[in-house]
Amino acid sequence: MKRYYIIVEGRVQGVGFRYFVQSIAAGYGLTGWVRNLENGMVDMEVQGEDALIHKFMTAVRKGNHFIRVEDYSMKPIALGVDSKFKIKY
């Protein structure tokens, strides 16, 4: 089990990105959260099996016809106690 702090930049606000991320995370059984930042980027924490997190990030980076991920950073952090993946406001 791993947990990562991730920051994503690109066209990721005003395009349903947080809901997109939440849906993918739920599909993989991952926990954590996602939120918009004031600088136009999005940050998140995601927790689960490492292989599933990497599949999750592949899907997130791919985006859709509204979302365009230009760059991201990812660092391991201490495990959390989330019961599901949620959107923070």
| C-alpha span between 58 and 55 (Å, rounded) | 5
Q: Is 68 a catalytic residue?
A: no
Angle at 32 between CA 86 and CA 73, to 5 degrees: 115
Question: Which residue in the list 3, 11, 35, 36 is annotated as catalytic?
Answer: 36
Largest CA distance in the chain: 34
| C-alpha span between 85 and 39 (Å, rounded) | 23
Question: Which residue in the list 3, 11, 18, 39 is annotated as catalytic?
Answer: 18
Q: Is 36 a catalytic residue?
A: yes
Which residue type does 19 have?
Y
- The catalytic residue positions are 18, 36
